[in-house]
Amino acid sequence: MSRRPCIAANWKMNKTADEADDFLDPFLPSQSADGPEVIICPTFLALGRVAERCAGTSVRVAAQNMHFDDSGAYTGEVSAPMLLDIGVDGVILGHSERRQYFGETDEDLARKVRRAVEAGLEPILCCGETDAQRESGDMEAVLSHQVLTDLAEVHTEDLDKVVIAYEPIWAIGTGRTASDGQAQEAIEFIRSLLRTRDDAKADLVRILYGGSVKPGNAEALLGMPDIDGALVGGAALDPDDFGAIVAAAGNG
């Protein structure tokens, strides 16, 4: 089954709009529509600038979060129509930092994922276990709960409109990376969960790996049969490093 590789840059709380320009100036000319799909996920304040710069190029733009309602008394929140209005066509949902620091629940995420799909935004749904959960043998139970609950409100025919990112929490920002085999094992398991919903759709869903992905380990990770790309954090802040990861995906 051929799935187009996807490499997404999660800038987290980094880069002003001007700093985003400094990244895009050398990066955009190097990208081709024939290569992997590339997605930039800047801060809310840089989203408009990045969307304008990427319009008409092969590089897509996604937000790092959104609310499940379209409007209302939710101070500090941003909705799907607002993102679409400025040219954004995707959104990261359920990153472990959102779950850990801001109390996002799987029930919240089920509503967010459904609303993103309904609105025509491509959700990048994150899931992953802690070090303690892996060591205690609970990895599969954690992933099962997260994936099945977060996708519960998505119609089966729409499953392939969701991208999933497996990000073991113990590998995010720590410098530790899951081995090729560990990442493949977890992502193969996630795909088996999707098969409980629809076998054919499970083959179409792209599942990314995230967690200290760097130019030096990208090619090996992206060479695994079930790994369809990467959600990149720290290395995505440098255009040369991120470009090298995109190139590694193109070599796969």
What DSSP assignment string belongs to 55-115?
Answer: TTSSEEEEES---SSSSSS-TT---HHHHHHTT--EEEE--HHHHHHH---HHHHHHHHHH
Q: What is the pLDDT of residue 97?
A: 94
Q: What is the pLDDT of residue 45?
A: 97
Q: What is the pLDDT of residue 1?
A: 55
One-letter amino acid at 167 equals: E
Catalytic residue among 95, 97, 122, 129: 95
Residue 110 in contact with residue 151, Cβ under 8 Å? Answer: yes
The total of other beta-carbon atoms located within 10 Å of residue 53's CB is 21
- To the query of whether residue 95 is one of the catalytic residues in this protein, the response is yes
What domains appear along the chain, each with residue ranges and CATH number? 6-236 (3.20.20.70)
Q: What is the pLDDT of residue 220?
A: 94
Q: What is the dihedral of CA 9, 12, 17, 22, to 10 degrees?
A: -50
| Residue in this structure with the two tokens 């993102």, named with its chain if needed | 83
Instruction: Tell me the H-state helices in 159-227.
Output: 180-195, 199-202, 215-222
Catalytic residue among 37, 104, 129, 167: 167
Q: What is the largest CA-CA distance in the chain?
A: 48
- To the query of whether residue 145 is one of the catalytic residues in this protein, the response is no
Q: What is the pLDDT of residue 5?
A: 96
List per-residue pLDDT tens for the chain, 252 residues long. Answer: 589 999 999 999 999 999 999 999 999 999 999 999 999 999 999 999 999 999 999 999 999 999 999 999 999 999 999 999 999 999 999 999 999 999 999 999 999 999 999 999 999 999 999 888 988 999 999 999 999 999 999 999 999 999 999 999 877 777 777 788 999 999 999 999 999 999 999 999 999 999 889 999 999 999 999 999 999 999 999 999 999 999 999 875
